[in-house]
Amino acid sequence: MRFWKRLRLTLDMIRFEHSVFALPFALTGALLAFRESHLPLQAFGAKLLWIVIAMVGARSAAMAFNRILDAEIDAQNPRTRTRHLPAGTLTRGFAWGFTTASVLVFLIAARALNPLCLKLAPLALGLVFFYSFTKRFTTFSHLVLGFSLGVAPAAAWIAVTGSLDPRILLLTAAVTFWTAGFDVIYSCQDYEFDCSVGLFSLPARFGIAGALWIARLFHLIMVGCLVALAGSFHLGWLSLTGIGAVVLLLLYEHSLVKADDLSRVNAAFFTVNGYVSVLFFLFWAADIYFLGLHAPHI
């Protein structure tokens, strides 16, 4: 019972439910690859399962590692000092064990997908672990986080096809700037703390108002990448409707946060972005299935 309680606390620590942020974009990449590859449906279903397992393993390892590395910093920050490791409800040893287990799950999934995925797996792990160090030396840690999530659609493409199509990098760029934008908004909560202890972030460098403008720019770039992606794959009106839904949600997200009022940051960060990823996937999956799979490839 004690083990299961610790496991439950660990899943809470890494916000396991937030896997929804990047997973729909990875699944979109997989569906686009399926559309182009003519892979048998049964084989694609098996790959899809391993992609989900790989995503969950990689994200769980990355989040647990981040919490371990930041435990001392979190203990100093009033907003984060009640997190599991600083508060002592979980031990570092258990967190390290969970991280190791998650890495093994990721590697097993990569091996099951194809040889190229397994070869690239250490690079992917290095990237997601590297992010945890960046706030100590670069203002653009948000973009590193974004890229850590952004590689998921390209990785899913490689998992399905065994190679990389440059067009899918537009989705990598879109996820990178989307994630960086909402991470900038979230990090505004720690503006004073980051400045006081010398941590790097866009709010600490440009102030909250300046950082919010940069977040808007990042999300504008994201939308541009999605439009270019839809064009490059010759998708139809459903994908464009999905982009329209994303635009409306992002406008709502930015309306929730003001430089002098951060009281609704959590709603902007957690709720709205969950809808962004899920609605995007639903519209694009519908477009790929109903309008794309049976259309001639150009």
Q: Which two tokens stand for residue 275?
A: 């809808």
User: Has residue 13 got a pLDDT over 60?
Assistant: yes
Mean pLDDT of 271-291: 91
pLDDT tens per residue across span 63-116: 999 999 999 999 999 999 999 899 889 899 999 999 999 999 999 999 999 999
Q: Report residue 156's pLDDT band, with 50, 70 and 90 as the boundaries.
A: very high
Q: Report residue 152's pLDDT band, with 50, 70 and 90 as the boundaries.
A: very high
User: Has residue 2 got a pLDDT over 80?
Assistant: no
Q: Where are the domains of the chain?
A: 2-292
Distance (Å, rounded) from C-alpha 170 to C-alpha 157? 12
User: Has residue 9 got a pLDDT over 80?
Assistant: no
Mean pLDDT of 231-250: 96
Q: Determine if residue 296 is left, alpha or beta; phi over 0 gives left, psi from -120 to 50 gives alpha, anything else beta.
A: beta
pLDDT tens per residue across span 21-78: 789 999 999 999 999 887 888 889 999 999 999 999 999 999 999 999 999 999 999 9
Q: Which two tokens stand for residue 3?
A: 């083990």
Q: Report residue 298's pLDDT band, with 50, 70 and 90 as the boundaries.
A: very low
In this prediction, residue 218 carries a pLDDT of: 98
Q: Which two tokens stand for residue 24?
A: 């729909």
249 neighbors 276 (Cβ within 8 angstroms): yes
Report residue 200: phi and psi, to 5°.
Answer: -100, 135
Range list of H helices, the chain: 2-13, 23-37, 41-69, 71-76, 84-87, 92-113, 115-134, 141-161, 169-187, 191-197, 202-232, 237-255, 265-266, 273-286
CATH 3.10.20.30 applies to domain 2-292: no
In this prediction, residue 194 carries a pLDDT of: 96
User: Has residue 19 got a pLDDT over 80?
Assistant: no
Q: Is 139 helix (H, G, I), strand (E, B) or coil?
A: coil
Lowest-pLDDT choice from 4-18, 76-90, 91-105, 255-269: 4-18
